Structure 1
Amino acid sequence: MTDLVAPTPDAFDLECETVIIGAGACGLVAALSAQEAGQDVLVIEADAVPSGSTALSAGLIPAAGTRIQKAAGIKDSAALFAEDIQAKAHGENDQALVDLMAQNAAGVIDWLADTHGLPFSVVTNFDYPGHSRRRMHGLPTRSGAELVNALRAACEAAGIDIICERRATTLYHEGDLVTGIRVQRPDGGAETIGCRKLILACNGFGGNRELVAEHMPDIKDGLWFGHDGNRGEAIRWGAELGAVLAHLGAYQGHGNVAHPHGILITWAVITQGGVQVNREGKRFWDESQGYSEAARAVLAQPGGEAFAIFDARIAEIAAQFEDFKQAQAVGAVRTNETLAGLAEDLGLPVATLGATIAAIPEDGTDAFGRRFSGLPLAPPYCGVRVTGALFHTQGGLEVNDRAQVRHGDGGLFPNLFAGGGAACGVSGRGDSGYLSGNGLLSAVVLGRIAGQASVG
């Protein structure tokens, strides 16, 4: 027995019906959902303010068939959404979990918009890799920090208690029944909290480099772009208790992070006609595969870096994202009236970059198999030095259709639930299955379901 899990103490310092570990998107959605179901709720957060990996993302959630989508004239369905998820993951996902995500996403978006006033809109001016419809829902600044702040405000308005600067260290149990947790205070002291229901919404394990090297060695040298609190307690608790763990090698990478600034550059700069080149000024892969796949492709280049090349027209589209505007503000995005000038600004071979851009077909398929159609790149030209990063892990605890954690003996833990980074997502066994927005899809759908679930 380790201090990760321990027998129930003689008494708890305080007790609450439903305790949620983690105040990212999953935990906050779970809290709103649980209170709506009539439960007494307490959220425990390790940071000084709620943030998590959600705050580092663009805050976009895919959903099919929402009221918002319909108002934008977009015809979509949960069945088509599920097909897109499985196509991207090469059919490696549990179909039941895929259907659960696809069928519940629209309801969660509509609920957050209608009940809690979150002003979602659909990204309609460019397509995300793998999605056959425009179904990415986000708040006005297209910022994950805005999403977390909006969810926190909704929880505060509902009177839900969120206690920050309390890191959960130990899970107490009697057999398969979870009875409470131990949390560490900033002053080194500890408190114990008893509960009838525990929801793990805390983290993946991307911040634990030993676990990353063990389960996903191909990304172990990538920049860690996720939240440093993602140390893997949830899967370690699960392993100690005998829970089922799945797809621990699956992750969301991102191969378009401004370097050395560490600012996410939206993949719209690529989907709208931009390309990536290496230090030699040459393209090296089919960028249409997606930004998660780009992480490995970029890290395999000399120096583990590349350069995203696009133009001012594309930059204007990308500027709807707060991260991109920040990258522009700090000078990470370089702009020049000529391609030769841009090459010099970025330290790239002028002739080679010119030949690379000239070789892009205006309307056709290139040597890498990427299809181009629409406007060619034109002055003024833009570029940014990027590297590959690990954003979050996708593997985790297996759950059923109530977000209830599965036991290795084929049963279920009566009162243990998981979502977000703690639960297994829908990205197949590796990074190649990552479909844009899957992380937040898992967070909000499983958070909503876990919160509603009764114990038993």
Structure 2
Amino acid sequence: MTAMKPDVAPAPDAFDLTCETLIIGAGAGGLVAALAAHEAGQSVLVIEADPVPQGSTALSAGLIPAAGTKAQAVAGIDDDAVLFAADIQAKADNENEQALVNRLANASGPVIDWLTETFGMPFSVVSNFDYPGHSRRRMHGLPTRSGAELIDRLRATCESAGIDIICERRAHRLFLDGDRVSGVAVTRPDGGVETIGCDKLVLACNGFGGNRDLVHQFMPEIENGVWFGHDGNRGEALLWGKEIGADLQHLNAYQGHGNVAHPHGILITWAVIMEGGVQVNCEGRRFWNETKGYSEAARAVLSQPKGEAYAIFDGRIAEIARQFEDFKQAEAAGAIKVSATLEGLAGELGLPVGPFVETMNAIPVDGPDAFGRTFKSPALKAPYFGVRVTGALFHTQGGLRTGKDARVYRTGGTLFPNLFACGGAACGVSGSGDSGYLSGNGLLSAVVLGKLAGEAPLD
């Protein structure tokens, strides 16, 4: 498909085709928006640049944080939106717009229940370990705990509902008349151009992590990390927003991850750390408080010699991690090493035996360690597991500022009448950097803002 620079232009005299609600991007946010708009009785068209909808959603663990769900009630978990909102703000040092935080927290539970009850998606709560920053167990996932299953289920549900999804069409031009969006132009694989008119446009084309120039401009500290998002995240929403005077916020915010198997490129669940595992560098030494979060772990790991580290855990933790399809894939690929002794594991990983064994034996049974971490899980014991990891950029968290129904704000504080954004195209609730990212923030913004945008009435 020929790449064309995103731009803005007046509407053509006529469009090749029209619809009421047009959605750019068939990730989790776009497909949830499509389901909501279809349920609201609107004619819907989704356009997707890839041959098959996958995007960043397919690369994620597919876990969505939500408070007060029926799944939580079944699991005996007492949670509500007020607690969830407080957790979001605490992780981000209160840098988020409170109205947006409340909007996402309040709607999170109803969205999960809606997907479960209306469309039969079997969400359940991850109930056997805690995610950093969450005061309750509220991460919801499908049986394989994988983003691939989530996107496949959403796509199949849209197809069953008769929602049109046209793939291999990349939007490159936004048509704007005054303050009203009238449609887009898209590029076909053969280089041809089609125009699509709409009454409502939802930008669900994610962020700009795949645009190296924008990453260098806004988050140079992570530009050398592995890009673990989707290459299609080129920043069209950001570039269009700048040109039309949209309010852009927290463009330095992003989600990193410091536990990607290297060089295999497979995500290793942070459960291996939160259940009592640690990270050591190539010298066999620990270097930080690993429980602060997996997003800031990216910078912590990349700052070590060779930009690498080793996640160390045991058989008990490995059994917990096997609920995640990615972990099982890492085992099958030979990324994860195992030994009956610490000395043997050092040999398997190529670590200096003396420093590594000394480091592992120095982990306290109770009370804080030198990094301020308190270990609450059982001490590690044989068999011991380890995997070489590196830091990665997963997706950006800044973007278009949105109002109560995911409608996009202008810089002057008024709203565009028919332009909406969700997921990575919209500003999320991760503050201004990487440390404000609370586990699941990306999919939270995708599904909640997607639902709000889709169900919003036509103007």
Q: TM-score range by the shorter chain?
A: over 0.9
State how 1:35-114 maps to structure 2 within 5 Å: 35-114=38-117
Q: Give the Cα–Cα distance (whole angstroms) in 1 for the partners of residues 127 and 421 of structure 2.
A: 32
State how 1:162-173 maps to structure 2 within 5 Å: 162-173=165-176
Task: Tell me how far 1:362 sits from its aligned partner.
Answer: 1.3
* 1:7 matched residue in structure 2: 10
Task: Tell me how far 1:286 sits from its aligned partner.
Answer: 0.3
**8 A contact 1:61–1:440 mirrored in 2:** yes
Task: Tell me how far 1:454 sits from its aligned partner.
Answer: 1.7
**8 A contact 2:6–2:236 mirrored in 1:** no
**Runs of 4 or more off by more than 4 Å in structure 1?**
none
* 1:345 matched residue in structure 2: 348
Task: Tell me how far 1:252 sits from its aligned partner.
Answer: 0.3
TM-score, with structure 1 as normaliser: 0.99
Among 291, 298, 303, the alignment partner of 2:306 is 303
- Cα deviation 1:216-237 (Å, max 9, x = unaligned): 1111111000011000001100
Q: Give the Cα–Cα distance (whole angstroms) in 1 for the partners of residues 371 and 413 of structure 2.
A: 45
**8 A contact 2:49–2:169 mirrored in 1:** yes
1:441 aligns with 2:432: no
Q: Give the Cα–Cα distance (whole angstroms) in 1 for the partners of residues 246 and 333 of structure 2.
A: 46
Task: Tell me how far 1:409 sits from its aligned partner.
Answer: 2.2
Q: Give the Cα–Cα distance (whole angstroms) in 2 for the partners of residues 256 and 333 of structure 1.
A: 12
Q: Which amino acid aligns with 2:9?
A: A
State how 1:232-271 maps to structure 2 within 5 Å: 232-271=235-274
State how 1:238-387 maps to structure 2 within 5 Å: 238-387=241-390
Among 180, 183, 186, the alignment partner of 1:183 is 186
User: Structure 2, unaligned stretches of length 5 or more?
Assistant: none
SS in 1 for 2:435: helix
**8 A contact 1:414–1:455 mirrored in 2:** no
Q: Give the Cα–Cα distance (whole angstroms) in 1 for the partners of residues 81 and 6 of structure 2.
A: 43
1:194 aligns with 2:197: yes
Q: Which amino acid aligns with 2:14?
A: A
**8 A contact 2:283–2:351 mirrored in 1:** yes
Task: Tell me how far 1:80 sits from its aligned partner.
Answer: 0.2
Task: Tell me how far 1:353 sits from its aligned partner.
Answer: 0.6
SS in 1 for 2:95: coil
State how 1:423-442 maps to structure 2 within 5 Å: 423-442=426-445
- Cα deviation 1:302-350 (Å, max 9, x = unaligned): 1100000111111110010000000000000000111101101111010
SS in 2 for 1:372: coil
What RMSD, in angstroms, separates the aligned Cα atoms of the two structures?
0.7
Q: Which amino acid aligns with 1:39?
A: Q
1:116 aligns with 2:119: yes
Q: Give the Cα–Cα distance (whole angstroms) in 2 for the partners of residues 212 and 410 of structure 1.
A: 27
SS in 2 for 1:431: coil
**8 A contact 2:6–2:239 mirrored in 1:** no
User: Structure 1, unaligned stretches of length 5 or more?
Assistant: none
- Cα deviation 1:247-295 (Å, max 9, x = unaligned): 0000000000000000000000000000000010000000010100100
Q: Give the Cα–Cα distance (whole angstroms) in 2 for the partners of residues 235 and 428 of structure 1.
A: 17
* 1:28 matched residue in structure 2: 31
Q: Which amino acid aligns with 2:345?
A: L
1:130 aligns with 2:133: yes
Q: Which amino acid aligns with 1:188?
A: G
Q: Which amino acid aligns with 1:316?
A: E
How many residues are treated as equivalent by the alignment? 455
SS in 1 for 2:104: helix
Q: Give the Cα–Cα distance (whole angstroms) in 2 for the partners of residues 388 and 209 of structure 1.
A: 16
Q: Give the Cα–Cα distance (whole angstroms) in 2 for the partners of residues 130 and 102 of structure 1.
A: 14
